[in-house]
Amino acid sequence: MRRQPLTWSQFRQGLKRGGIEPVYLLAGEEEFFHEEAMRLLQAACLGPDDGGMNRDRLRGDETDVAAILDLASTYPMGGATRLIIVRGADALRLDDPKPLAAYLAAPNPRTCLVFSDPQFDRRRSLFRVLQENAAVILCDPLDEPRLAAWVRERLAEDGYGLESALAEAIATALSAAGLARVDAELAKLRSAIGAPRPVRAADLSILADAPRLEDAFRMAAAVARGSRGEALPAARDLLRAGEEPLQLLGALSWYFRNALRARLAQARRLPPREVTALYGLDPGRVDRFRRDIGAATAASLRRALGLCLQADRELKGMGAKDPAHALERLIHRAGRGVAADGGRS
């Protein structure tokens, strides 16, 4: 019976509990997860004084399955676990799956055998045999919601708090950068902040690929109030400073989405604890949204979000000829909608 794949969090938790599987298949296209999984397994399997004695690094195009199984069947020296990493595993030939299946049914408990290839062809019998019998770690790319959760988890490991809304802002700003770059930016953020503490919105200016978020949020707040005369010059200043229209669109979407949550939380008059649990917002941020967006209604914020989605499709799918003009048109339309509800123009 095929085992359930392990999410990244489940894999990490298993290692923390001392659970090392005898065979792993790293399945998915996110190279960062492949590299990080191999790094974590090396730390878990090998002692600090091992010196590589019980570690073997192989490539699929330079070895074969029989040689790998012979090596995996050999017991390590000392009390460590032998770690065998096979990169580019899709290049391995598998003329006869029976020896591999036999090993997977009764693997050497003192060996950890890892098959890695971000481009593994899932139609191959090799992949299917491993998928059926090995511990599969999901290494798929993260969409923005899962990236936001990963960012919070990554910072929390070192004691840095991050509210959900700010994690979403980071995910929106850096989603196109690749996970390795996101991880490097988080390391830079931790270094700049210093001793662990909650991350503040102003701290996000440290992130290289993020737009000037405080300025972008002020622009978004002006749109939410219906103040197009304030929002348009702010947008033009950001564009002249080299900010990308798509990144500014992401900041607008984030702001409208969380302003809507804050408006709904305010309307329900929820206790602070429930606001955080239901909407992922710190109560102080709800108060700030309330001050910043003025009389903007939930309906106008929903319309603004819908306009952001239309602009996103135009910029990404249809290839807008003038992205800056598309962003300004969005600001005009969203601000006009607020004005129609009784806001300013």
Q: pLDDT higher for 345 or 70?
A: 70
134 band by pLDDT with thresholds 50, 70 and 90: very high
Report the pLDDT value the prediction gives residue 345, as an integer from 0 to 100. Answer: 41
What order do you get walking across the sheet with 135-138 strand by strand?
Answer: 55-59, 82-87, 111-116, 23-27, 135-138
Report the pLDDT value the prediction gives residue 344, as an integer from 0 to 100. Answer: 46
28 band by pLDDT with thresholds 50, 70 and 90: very high
210 band by pLDDT with thresholds 50, 70 and 90: low
pLDDT digits (tens, 9 = 90+) for 52-61: 788 899 999 9
pLDDT digits (tens, 9 = 90+) for 142-185: 988 889 899 999 999 899 999 887 888 888 777 777 899 899 99
Q: HSE-up of 200 (CA within 13 Å, CB side)? A: 8
Report the pLDDT value the prediction gives residue 339, as an integer from 0 to 100. Answer: 55
Q: At what angle do helices 8-16 and 31-45 cross, to 10 degrees?
A: 10
Domain boundaries, the chain: 8-138, 145-340
Report the pLDDT value the prediction gives residue 332, as an integer from 0 to 100. Answer: 83
Lowest-pLDDT choice from 16-30, 32-46, 180-194, 252-266: 252-266
What are φ and ψ of residue 299, in 5° steps?
A: -65, -45
Name the CATH superfamily, with its identifier, for domain 8-138.
P-loop containing nucleotide triphosphate hydrolases (3.40.50.300)
pLDDT exceeds cutoff 80 at 307: yes
341 band by pLDDT with thresholds 50, 70 and 90: low
pLDDT exceeds cutoff 90 at 268: no
**pTM: predicted TM-score of the whole model, two decimal places:** 0.71
pLDDT exceeds cutoff 90 at 308: no
Please give the structure tokens belonging to residue 125.
């019998």
Report the pLDDT value the prediction gives residue 330, as an integer from 0 to 100. Answer: 85
Report the pLDDT value the prediction gives residue 235, as an integer from 0 to 100. Answer: 86
320 band by pLDDT with thresholds 50, 70 and 90: low
Please give the structure tokens belonging to residue 120.
């593994």
Average pLDDT over residues 256-271: 82
Neighbours of 68 (CB within 10 A): 21
215 band by pLDDT with thresholds 50, 70 and 90: confident
SS3 25: strand
Report the pLDDT value the prediction gives residue 208, as an integer from 0 to 100. Answer: 66
pLDDT digits (tens, 9 = 90+) for 186-203: 999 999 999 999 998 778
212 band by pLDDT with thresholds 50, 70 and 90: low
In CATH, the number for domain 145-340 is 1.20.272.10
DSSP codes of every residue in 114-181 = EEE-TT--TTSHHHHHHHHHSEEEE-PPP-HHHHHHHHHHHHHTTT----HHHHHHHHHHHTTS-HHH
| Highest mean pLDDT of the ranges 50-59, 310-319, 335-344 | 50-59
Average pLDDT over residues 254-261: 84
Summary mean pLDDT of the chain: 85
pLDDT exceeds cutoff 90 at 221: no
Report the pLDDT value the prediction gives residue 2, as an integer from 0 to 100. Answer: 65
Q: How far is CA 77 from CA 46, 47, 68, 238, 268, in A?
A: 11, 11, 18, 60, 64
